[in-house]
């Protein structure tokens, strides 16, 4: 069992999208990294108590960046519309929209849907403390030597400090891409005020590796993997062969010729509540086509034309004594009969 309770803080530098990466302005968008962490936590039952935290000022900054990108895109659209203005039969226009109001609603949905904890800006007056840090050139001020900067980061840090003081039972893992947060004086300040630890990470894989070790996520899974042999894949193959004979590819149905089960496992998870192991294994279905039965002569010869369809089967195992018992098989795409 882990020694501490953990929360993960994410900074603008790891969540912000470049202009080209915004693909749907209807939603509040962040980098893929965020959704990968949500899935990582959801897929591991041992991590269900871990929270993802985003400072309020980071949310506001991300909102501003998305509004700027939206306005830039609309401006580009309007500039292109002007190229058609002399065509009387073209009626192109962009509607008026209070995009900030719309985005605020989507941000609320985002926070609720992904159960994001918000680190609010402290209510107390930070002016004197921030001025003192700026004068003394203390981190996170002065990103570049001799250049005044870092006010936003300083507010983020004060927000994290206040959160740490109010949640002394949590150890914080801070994911960012900003060297100004990597400073012994900052971590010492956090330790002194909260009695707890904050660890900075610039690589998401490092946090996952830390949690893997701390929560022993793969200890049981490694035992499972080492116990598997060819019989595991043969069992899956025999199940498919005996269970399924046709594949539906709209709007037609075709005979299944054969299956090929890969010798790899895409994902493994352990459910601590019921003791089940779930393994996702890729496989390929080879099937006839509308042209089956015709000879094809083109360098090579085949008695029928064949195609294939890739799928994944989820295998659920339960450990009984020293052996694993097959509990359930489930296809991701349910088009086999």
The answer for residues whose C-beta is within 8 angstroms of residue 265's C-beta and 6 or more apart is: 225, 279, 280, 281
Nearest residue to 114 (alpha-carbon basis) of 208, 13, 37, 173? 37
Cut 0.85: pTM above it: no
pLDDT, position 297: 45
Q: Return the higher-pLDDT residue of 220 and 266.
A: 266
Count of CB atoms within 10 A of residue 272's CB?
Answer: 11
% pLDDT > 90, the chain: 23
Rounded Cα–Cα distance for residues 185 and 130 (Å): 15
Q: What is the pLDDT of residue 138?
A: 57
Element (H, E) at 252: strand 252-261
Q: For the segment 210-237, what is each residue's pLDDT rounded down to a tens digit?
A: 887 787 766 666 666 666 766 888 889 9
pLDDT at position 239, please?
93
Partnered with residue 51 across adjacent β-strands are 7
- Evaluate if residue 5 carries a pLDDT over 70: yes
Does residue 98 have a pLDDT over 70?
yes
pLDDT digits (tens, 9 = 90+) for 316-336: 988 777 677 888 899 888 888
Q: Residue 53 — very low, low, confident or very high, per pLDDT cuts 50/70/90?
A: very high
- If you search the block for the tokens 């250049």, which residue do you land on? 147
Dihedral Cα 63, 73, 22, 176, nearest 10 deg: -50
């Amino acid at each position: 069992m882990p020694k501490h309770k953990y929360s993960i803080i994410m900074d603008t530098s790891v969540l912000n999208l470049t202009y080209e990466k915004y693909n749907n302005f209807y939603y509040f968008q962040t980098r893929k990294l965020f959704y990968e962490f949500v899935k990582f936590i959801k897929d591991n039952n041992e991590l269900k108590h871990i929270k993802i935290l985003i400072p309020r000022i980071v949310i506001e900054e991300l909102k501003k960046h998305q509004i700027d990108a939206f306005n830039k895109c609309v401006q580009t659209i309007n500039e292109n519309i002007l190229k058609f203005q002399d065509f009387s039969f073209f009626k192109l226009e962009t509607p008026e929209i209070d995009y900030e109001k719309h985005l605020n609603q989507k941000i609320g949905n985002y926070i609720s849907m992904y159960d994001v904890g918000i680190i609010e800006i402290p209510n107390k007056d930070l002016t004197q403390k921030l001025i003192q840090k700026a004068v003394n050139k203390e981190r996170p001020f002065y990103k570049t030597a001799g250049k005044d900067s870092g006010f936003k980061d300083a507010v983020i840090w004060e927000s994290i400090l206040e959160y740490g003081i109010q949640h002394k039972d949590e150890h914080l893992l801070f994911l960012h891409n900003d060297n100004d947060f990597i400073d012994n004086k900052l971590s010492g300040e956090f330790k002194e005020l909260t009695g707890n630890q904050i660890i900075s990470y610039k690589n998401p894989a490092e946090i996952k590796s830390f949690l893997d070790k701390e929560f022993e996520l793969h200890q049981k899974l490694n035992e499972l993997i080492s116990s598997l042999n060819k019989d595991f894949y043969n069992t899956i193959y025999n199940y498919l062969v005996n269970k399924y004979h046709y594949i539906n590819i709209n709007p037609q149905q075709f005979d299944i010729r054969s299956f090929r089960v890969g010798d790899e496992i895409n994902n493994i998870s352990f459910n601590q509540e019921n003791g089940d192991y779930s393994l996702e294994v890729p496989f390929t279905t080879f099937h006839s086509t509308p042209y089956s039965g015709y000879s094809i002569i083109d360098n090579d010869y085949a008695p029928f034309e064949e195609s294939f369809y890739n799928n994944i089967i989820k295998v659920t195992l339960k450990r009984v004594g020293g052996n694993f018992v097959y509990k359930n098989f489930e296809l991701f795409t349910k088009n086999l009969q």
